[in-house]
Amino acid sequence: MTHPIRIAPSILAANFSKLGQEVRDVVDAGADWIHLDVMDGHFVPNITFGPDVIKSLRSYTDATFDCHLMIAPADSFLEAFAKAGCDILTVHAEAGPHLHRSLQTVKALGKKAGVSLNPATPESALEYVLDSLDLILVMTVNPGFGGQKFISVMEEKIRRIKAMVGDRPIEIEVDGGIAPETAGVVTGAGANVLVAGSAIFKGGSVEAYRAAIEAIRTPAEKGR
C-alpha cells in the first residue's frame, strides 16, 4: 500500500515560549502532521512536556497530533495522552514491559498505534505485533535530542521493515537528522512520514517554514 508523503515537524526545535503560535505557523506553512516528542529523563536523557501542554496546543490546529512517547513504562500515561488530543500514540519497543499490551491499550482508547525502534534494535522486534500496528517509527538517531546526524545504516533497516510490512496499511516514519540531503534516501528505502525538527524550525517565520518543508518534500517525492 502506498501512503502519501507526510512531513511532520517536531516541535522539539520550536520556540517553546510561543508553542501554540509555532504549531499554527508550521501548519500554515504546509506541515501535514505535528510531531510531539515526549521525554521523561529516564528512558531518554532529556525532559520535554506532558499531556497538559499537548492539551493546550490542541485548540491551535486540527492537524494530526503524532505523539512520540519516549517514556518508560508508558502504559499508565496512555489514557492521559489520548484525552489530551493525540491522534497517534507511538511507544518504544524497548520501553516495555509488555509491548503487545501497550498496543492493545492504545487501540482500546480509539487511537492509532505506533511502535518505535531505537537504532540498535533489530526489526525482528516488530514480528509478532505487526497486525496491531498503524505506524512504525524508525529512529535514525539515538532518541533524546534534536540536531543529531542521520545514522546512514538505518537506510537498510527501513528497507527491511518495508519488506516485512508487505501489503499491510502501516505507515513508515523516520525521525532524526532528516533534511533535504537525507529525505530522498529514506523515501527510496520505503519511508513515507518524515519527522524534522531543526531542519524546519531554524527560520522562525511562516515563510521560512514553508521553504524548509518544501526543501524536504521535493527530494522526498523524487526519491520514491
Query: Does 35 sit near ligand 5SP (CB under 6 A)?
Result: yes
Angle CA 178–179–184, to nearest 5: 85
Q: For residue 134, what is its C-alpha cell?
A: 498503524
| Residue 144's binding partner out of ligand 5SP, Fe ion, none, with CB under 5 to 8 Å set by partner kind | ligand 5SP
Give the span between the Cα atoms of 176 and 145, in whole angstroms: 9
In the set 37, 40, 66, 134, the catalytic residue is: 37
Query: Does 121 sit near ligand 5SP (CB under 6 A)?
Result: no
Kindly tell me which of 48 and 102 has the beta carbon lying closer to ligand 5SP: 48
Known binder of ligand: residue 201?
no
Please identify which residue in 146, 155, 183, 191 interacts with ligand 5SP, judged by CB under 6 A. 146
Distances (CA, A) of 162 to 2, 126, 158: 11, 12, 6
Q: What's the per-residue H, E or C state across 176-194?
A: CCCCHHHHHHHHHHCCCEE
In the set 25, 32, 134, 175, the catalytic residue is: 175
Q: Would residue 28 show up in a list of annotated catalytic residues for this protein?
A: no
**175-204 residues near ligand 5SP, rule: CB under 6 A:** 175-178, 195-199
Q: Would residue 175 show up in a list of annotated catalytic residues for this protein?
A: yes
DSSP string of 115-156, one letter each residue: EEE-TTS-GGGGTTTGGG-SEEEEESS-TT-SSPPP-TTHHH
Kindly tell me which of 170 and 199 has the beta carbon lying closer to ligand 5SP: 199
Of all residues in the shown chain, the one whose CB is closest to Fe ion is 68
Give Cα 113 to chain centroid, integer Å: 12
| Residue 196's binding partner out of ligand 5SP, Fe ion, none, with CB under 5 to 8 Å set by partner kind | ligand 5SP
Known binder of ligand: residue 76?
no
Distances (CA, A) of 59 to 3, 63, 107: 27, 10, 24
| Residue 176's binding partner out of ligand 5SP, Fe ion, none, with CB under 5 to 8 Å set by partner kind | ligand 5SP
Region of 22 on the Ramachandran plot (φ > 0 left; ψ -120 to 50 alpha; else beta): alpha
Please tell me what DSSP assigns to residue 179: S
Task: List residues with catalytic annotation.
Answer: 37, 175
Binding residues for a divalent metal cation: 35, 37, 68, 175
Binding site for ligand 5SP (CB under 6 A): 10, 12-13, 35, 37, 68, 141, 143-148, 175-178, 195-199
Binding site for Fe ion (CB under 5 A): 37, 68, 175
